[in-house]
């Protein structure tokens, strides 16, 4: 599955749930463009379509994620995009209690509390997302010793950042061939793998 938000560009005084958001299409790293509209969050099934030579994202669950201003106007607690995403995936987990779910998301869903909430579901949801290059990564917490006092450790020893791994000459790289890349060709990507908290 995949999850992503989109902005429906809408104007007008009668559209109360609209907000001002960053326009991902017209913005870049150096140029910030705002747009007015409704923000929708969609959960999509990733399906290979015969004859299309690519995977299509077919939306099956979409929710309106109103602006913070709208929630304040109604006197409600504001639910962030991650709150909506957690609620949507909890619902899907209720529909499919035993099925393995792998979710692909962009870097706006690389939030540790959200990822931990999905891990705590009765059957965990596995998320593939892009972390920041300076993300703090740790070894798993060591096992608790007999008669050890104090709060249990949440994490182990600090690991190198992703940026440091890129610059480190001793990093073990493997080659992964991706078929059906944009334009239908194939591409070789260098990859490295490690487990971290």
The per-residue pLDDT for range 30-83, each reduced to its tens digit, is: 777 777 778 889 999 999 888 777 788 999 999 988 887 777 878 888 888 899
**Distance (Å, whole) CA 99 – CA 124:** 10
Q: Are residues 65 and 156 in the same domain?
A: no
More confident residue, 100 or 183: 100
Exposed, middle or buried, 65 (CB in 10 Å: 0-12/13-18/19+)? Answer: buried
Q: Report the DSSP pairing between strands 101-105 and 2-9.
A: parallel
Q: Are residues 85 and 170 in the same domain?
A: no
Q: Are residues 37 and 124 in the same domain?
A: yes
The residue range of the domain holding 196 is: 150-197
Report the predicted TM-score, pTM, of the whole model to 2 decimal places: 0.74
Q: What's the pLDDT at 58?
A: 93
Q: Are residues 66 and 115 in the same domain?
A: yes
Q: Are residues 36 and 110 in the same domain?
A: yes
**Distance (Å, whole) CA 144 – CA 156:** 11
3 state SS of 35: strand
Please count the structural domains in the chain: 2
The verdict on residue 142 lying in a domain is: no
**Distance (Å, whole) CA 112 – CA 154:** 13
Q: What's the pLDDT at 85?
A: 94
């Amino acid at each position: 599955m995949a999850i992503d938000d989109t902005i429906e560009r809408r104007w007008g005084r009668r559209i109360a749930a609209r907000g001002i958001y960053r326009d991902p299409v017209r913005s870049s790293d150096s140029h910030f463009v705002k747009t007015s509209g409704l923000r929708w969050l969609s959960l999509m099934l990733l399906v290979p379509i015969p004859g299309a030579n690519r995977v299509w994202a077919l939306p099956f669950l979409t929710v309106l994620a109103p602006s913070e201003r709208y929630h304040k106007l109604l006197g409600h607690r504001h639910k962030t995009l991650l709150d909506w995403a957690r609620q949507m995936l909890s619902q899907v987990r209720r529909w499919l209690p035993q099925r393995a779910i792998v979710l692909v998301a962009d870097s706006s869903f690389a939030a540790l509390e959200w990822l931990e909430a999905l891990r705590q579901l009765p059957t965990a949801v596995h998320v593939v997302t892009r972390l920041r290059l300076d993300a703090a990564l740790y070894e798993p917490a060591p096992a608790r010793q007999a008669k050890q006092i104090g709060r249990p450790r949440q994490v182990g020893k600090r690991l190198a950042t992703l940026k440091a791994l890129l610059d480190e000459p001793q990093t073990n790289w493997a080659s992964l061939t991706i078929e059906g890349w944009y334009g239908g060709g194939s591409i070789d990507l260098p990859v490295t793998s490690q487990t971290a908290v």
